[in-house]
Amino acid sequence: MASRTISLTRYLVEQQRIDGLIPGQLRLLLEVVARACKRISQAVNKGAVGDILGAAGSENVQGEMQKKLDIIANEVLIEANEWGGHLAAMASEEMEGIYVVPNRYPQGEYLLLFDPLDGSSNIDVNVSIGTIFSVLKKPEGHPGVTEEDFLQPGSRQVAAGYCVYGPQTTLVLTVGDGVAEFTLDREQGSFILVQENMRIPEDTREFAINMSNMRHWAPPVKRYIDECLAGKDGPRGKDFNMRWIASMVADVHRIITRGGIFMYPWDKREPEKPGKLRLMYEANPMGWLIEQAGGAATNGMQRILDIQPTKLHERVSVILGSKNEVERVTSYHRQ
Residues near Mg ion (CB under 5 A): 115, 118
Give the distance from CA 280 to its chain's centroid.
9
Size of the site for ligand AHM (CB under 6 A): 12
121 binds, among ligand AHM, Mg ion, none (CB under 5 to 8 A by kind): ligand AHM
Residue 59 within binding range of ligand AHM, rule CB under 6 A: no
Span interacting with ligand AHM, options 178-186, 199-207, 245-253, 321-329, rule CB under 6 A: 245-253
Nearer to ligand AHM, 115 or 149 (CB): 115
Q: In 10 A of CB 62, how many CB atoms?
A: 13
Span interacting with ligand AHM, options 82-90, 117-125, 196-204, 215-223, rule CB under 6 A: 117-125
Beta bridge partners of 163: 131, 171
Looking at 163-316, list the stretches that DSSP marks H as alpha helix, in order from N- to C-terminal side.
219-229, 248-258, 284-292
Residue 115 within binding range of ligand AHM, rule CB under 6 A: yes
Annotated binding residue 226: no
Give the distance from CA 133 to its chain's centroid.
6
Q: How far apart are CB 302 and ligand AHM at their closest, in Å? A: 21
Q: How far apart are CB 209 and Mg ion at their closest, in Å? A: 16
Q: Contact with ligand AHM (CB under 6 A): which of 155, 183, 210, 324?
A: 210
Q: In 10 A of CB 15, how many CB atoms?
A: 19
SS3 53: coil
Distance CA(16)–CA(18), nearest Å, equals 6
Distance CA(251)–CA(209), nearest Å, equals 10
Beta bridge partners of 104: none
Binding residues vs ligand AHM (CB under 6 A): 64, 93, 115, 118-121, 210, 246-248, 264
Q: Tell me the binding residues for Mg(2+).
A: 93, 115, 117-118, 282
